[in-house]
């Protein structure tokens, strides 16, 4: 600890460092605040603050702290209402975390900018009381008792609450999982053994079912592909995973080209799966070469078809520029913020490929996340071609950001395609081993290590 504090004092950039505010090992007095820089880049950084109430229960709280360097600014925060005046920063609890029992914690975070050095903030206080308490172990589990049961059992029917995906207890959750490759090509990757591995070894919360419409997909055999999707929904359900039904439009990029097919497909799968709690609908994978107005028009025709059959399911709407919120077409999230889809209980898709889409895309997500419910229904660790090398640094920066913002994600792909984005080595799906480390690619190894960590879904 001494060495770390010395580094801080010199203003060195330290990433992944956790500092306990206040003298360590003091008697608990009122609160503790644990500050962690989770990633840092030129002029910017992302930080988390874990606040633990060590005093009497509070039903409303404001956290205060001081930025030591004049250039340090909070740009965008989450899980609290943030403001800054000079060097003084405040974060006030929001609906779902404003009550903190004795011993309870809440995790806040923000993206910040800095000009000189980026030392850890000082003088943390909770409702004006200095946070001089120390938590005994910064890796203490959250105060909710660990939930038992599968992700779908614990969380039940999902809904959108504010900008978050919420569970049956009306608490924000993040689902972490994998996307199939095109089911017209990789059917052998989705049998009992591979899905057991996904649920049991990967502890995946989610299986995205990528049903291409073109490229020998749905349009060639609507009934057959509908049956395949329903079979995978059932297999996910049997293993306690959510199933994301992806109408994988890609080429042509205007989803209206497939409007009639979408209505036929979704009226069928929504009626068939209406009573299930594990189904989420994604109505257009990646609109491209088309305006947001055209995508919105498509969404406003398809969503009522789903609602008529399955009124309570969450629906994900693709966005312009290959679901980049318009960024890949030179636009940004404001086109959606200013002209949202006229429907409730929906989220917007954001897709990225870590080797191609970096800081400006991350900045967009950081900004947009406080205004729009976002779901990363597809992303890759490699380039946007689906191939090339894993960009580990960018992938980790993305995953840290999504974790902090509680944005759900599905990784492309749970398959043995001969391309860098695939999780399994070529040939794996012809065999029966989906569990050993020998069958994983670099991308698969990274994703398995991220997805299989404990979820800690809130249960009250």
Residue 409 binding ligand IDC, by CB under 6 A: no
Cα separation, 23 vs 117, whole angstroms: 23
Answer for which of 69, 144, 201, 215 binds ligand IDC (CB under 6 A) is 215
3 state DSSP class of 139: coil
Q: Is the CB of 222 or the CB of 388 nearer to ligand IDC?
A: 388
Q: Is the CB of 237 or the CB of 419 nearer to ligand IDC?
A: 419
Q: Is the CB of 34 or the CB of 378 nearer to ligand IDC?
A: 378
Interacting stretch for ligand IDC, rule CB under 6 A, among 69-77, 160-168, 187-195, 378-386?
378-386
Answer for which of 241, 346, 384, 429 binds ligand IDC (CB under 6 A) is 384
Shortest Cβ 252–ligand IDC spacing (Å): 13
- Write phi, then psi, for 279 (nearest 5 degrees): -110, 135
Interacting stretch for ligand IDC, rule CB under 6 A, among 91-99, 197-205, 377-385, 396-404?
377-385
Q: Yes or no: say if 144 and 456 are a contact pair by the CB < 8 Å rule.
A: yes
Answer for which of 45, 281, 322, 398 binds ligand IDC (CB under 6 A) is 322
Residues 79-138 that bind ligand IDC (CB under 6 A): none
Residue by residue, DSSP assigns 364-391 as HHHHHTTTS-EEEEEEESS-TTS-S---
Q: Is the CB of 144 or the CB of 215 nearer to ligand IDC?
A: 215
Q: Give residue for tokens 């299930």.
A: 276
Cα separation, 380 vs 447, whole angstroms: 10
The site map against ligand IDC for 246-275 (x = CB under 6 A) is ----x-------------------------
Catalytic option among 237, 286, 335, 419 = 286
Q: Yes or no: say if 246 and 377 are a contact pair by the CB < 8 Å rule.
A: yes
3 state DSSP class of 148: coil
Residues near ligand IDC (CB under 6 A), total: 15
Q: Is the CB of 340 or the CB of 386 nearer to ligand IDC?
A: 386
Strands (E), 42-87: 44-53, 62-66, 73-78, 81-85
Shortest Cβ 392–ligand IDC spacing (Å): 18
How far from 159 is each of 122, 167, 280, 325, CA to CA, in Å?
Answer: 38, 7, 10, 21
Interacting stretch for ligand IDC, rule CB under 6 A, among 12-20, 330-338, 365-373, 411-419?
411-419
Cβ-proximal residue to ligand IDC, closest one:
386
Q: Give 409's strand partners.
A: 176, 376
Residue 415 Ramachandran class (φ > 0 left, ψ -120 to 50 alpha, else beta): beta
Residue 378 binding ligand IDC, by CB under 6 A: yes
Q: Yes or no: say if 117 and 9 are a contact pair by the CB < 8 Å rule.
A: no
Whose CA is closest to 218, among 276, 269, 164? 269
Catalytic option among 237, 282, 335, 378 = 378
Q: Edge-to-edge strands of the sheet including 17-20?
A: 17-20, 31-41, 44-53, 105-113, 73-78
Q: Is the CB of 352 or the CB of 457 nearer to ligand IDC?
A: 352
Answer for which of 72, 118, 228, 285 binds ligand IDC (CB under 6 A) is 285
Shortest Cβ 423–ligand IDC spacing (Å): 12
Q: Is the CB of 124 or the CB of 412 nearer to ligand IDC?
A: 412
Helix ranges, 213-312 (H): 222-238, 259-273, 292-309
Residues 412-431 that bind ligand IDC (CB under 6 A): 412, 417, 419, 421
The residues, any chain, with a CB within 8 Å of residue 140's CB and separated by 6 or more, are 105
Shortest Cβ 212–ligand IDC spacing (Å): 7
Residue 353 binding ligand IDC, by CB under 6 A: yes
Is there a catalytic annotation at residue 378?
A: yes
43 DSSP assignment:
T
Residue 49 binding ligand IDC, by CB under 6 A: no
Q: Give 46's strand partners.
A: 39, 111
Answer for which of 26, 371, 385, 453 binds ligand IDC (CB under 6 A) is 385
Answer for which of 386, 392, 435, 452 binds ligand IDC (CB under 6 A) is 386
Cα separation, 198 vs 175, whole angstroms: 14
Active site amino acids: 286, 378
Q: Which residues bind ligand IDC (CB under 6 A)?
A: 215, 250, 285-286, 322, 351, 353, 378, 384-386, 412, 417, 419, 421
């Amino acid at each position: 600890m001494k060495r770390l504090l010395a580094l801080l004092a010199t203003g060195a950039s330290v990433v992944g460092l956790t500092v306990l505010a206040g003298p360590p090992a003091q008697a608990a007095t009122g609160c503790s605040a644990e500050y962690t820089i989770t990633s840092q880049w030129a002029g910017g950084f992302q930080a988390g603050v874990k606040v633990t109430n060590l005093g009497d229960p509070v039903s409303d709280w404001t956290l205060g702290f001081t930025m030591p360097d004049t250039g340090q600014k909070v740009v965008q925060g989450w899980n609290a209402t943030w403001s800054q005046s000079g060097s003084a920063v405040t974060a006030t609890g929001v609906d779902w975390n404003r009550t903190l029992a004795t011993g309870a914690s809440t995790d806040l975070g923000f993206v910040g900018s800095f000009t000189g050095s980026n030392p850890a903030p000082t003088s943390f206080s909770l409702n004006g009381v200095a946070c001089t308490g120390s938590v005994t172990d910064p890796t203490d589990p959250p105060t909710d008792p660990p939930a038992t049961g599968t992700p779908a059992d614990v969380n039940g029917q999902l809904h959108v609450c504010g900008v978050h995906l919420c569970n049956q207890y009306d608490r924000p959750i993040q689902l972490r999982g994998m996307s199939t490759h095109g089911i017209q090509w990789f059917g052998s990757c989705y049998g009992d053994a591979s899905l057991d591995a996904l649920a049991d070894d990967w502890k995946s919360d989610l299986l995205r079912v990528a049903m291409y419409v073109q490229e020998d997909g749905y349009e060639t055999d609507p009934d057959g592909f509908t049956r395949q999707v329903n079979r995978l929904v059932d297999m996910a359900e049997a293993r306690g995973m959510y199933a994301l039904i992806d109408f994988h439009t890609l080429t042509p990029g205007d989803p209206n080209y497939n409007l009639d097919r979408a209505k036929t497909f979704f009226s069928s799968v929504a009626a068939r799966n209406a009573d299930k709690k594990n189904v989420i609908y994604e109505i257009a994978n990646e609109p491209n070469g088309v305006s947001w107005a055209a995508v919105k028009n498509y969404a406003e025709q398809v969503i009522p078809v789903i609602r008529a059959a399955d009124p309570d399911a969450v629906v994900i709407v693709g966005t312009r520029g290959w679901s980049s919120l318009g960024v890949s077409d030179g636009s940004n999230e404001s086109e959606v913020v200013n002209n949202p889809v006229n429907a409730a209980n929906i989220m917007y898709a954001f897709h990225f490929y870590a080797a191609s889409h970096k800081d400006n895309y991350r900045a967009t997500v950081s900004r947009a996340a406080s205004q729009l419910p976002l779901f990363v229904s597809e992303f890759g660790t490699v380039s946007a071609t689906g191939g090339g090398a894993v960009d580990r640094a960018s992938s980790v920066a993305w995953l840290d950001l999504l974790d902090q913002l509680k944005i759900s994600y599905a990784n492309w792909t749970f398959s043995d395609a001969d391309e860098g984005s695939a999780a399994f080595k070529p040939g794996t799906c012809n065999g029966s081993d989906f569990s050993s480390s020998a069958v994983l690619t670099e991308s698969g190894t990274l994703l398995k290590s991220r997805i299989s960590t404990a979820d800690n879904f809130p249960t009250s």
